[in-house]
Amino acid sequence: MPARVQSFVLTGIDASPCEVEIDVAPGGMPGERIVGLPDAAVRESIERVKSAIANSGYAFPMGRVVVNLAPADLRKEGPVYDLPMALGLLLASGSLRAGEGGIDLRRAVVAGELALDGRLRPVRGALSAALLARARGAPSIIVPEENAREAAVVAGVNVYSARTLAEAVGKI
């Protein structure tokens, strides 16, 4: 069953919902594919995500990996989907469980660029993402530490920040 992590599409200063779906099919020809109208930066993100997962002490799932960024009719731009993809891959592979402790990933908005060593880098649109989270009834947002102050301006949303992928995983 595919893992799902909520993120956003930024159009100007407005954020729209984006569901990052990850399906890992064991066996068959291994490979990765990102669908859902991704730009070049999004298509390249799988390489950052693979390195960040490995360098954070986790195993990248074996098999055919398909990442769907829904809705498919909105263009996805930039590295904002790195962290949602990484968390979705860890969920899909069973290395991480949603809703068993801290943040419930099924109800949180997630955004962040990953460095190859697993560090998180800031992304554009944290304020817009927090406004989207509040409007959709999502109680939490997970962002890189550098974006936390911007997102915290929005009342009614719990802002969780992390410096690394491992730190983000530790909050879930």
Residue 106, pLDDT above cutoff 90: no
Q: What is the pTM of this model?
A: 0.95
Share of the chain above pLDDT 70, in %: 98
Structural domains in the chain?
Answer: 3-170 (3.30.230.10)
Average of per-residue pLDDT across 164-168:
97
pLDDT at position 1 is: 81
Bigger pLDDT: 29 vs 19: 19
For 1-21, give one letter per residue: b (16+ CB within 10 A) or e: eebbbbbbbbeeeebebbbbb
Tell me the pLDDT band of 66, cut-offs 50, 70 and 90: very high
Tell me the pLDDT band of 168, cut-offs 50, 70 and 90: very high
pLDDT at position 103 is: 83
CA distance 136 to 56: 31
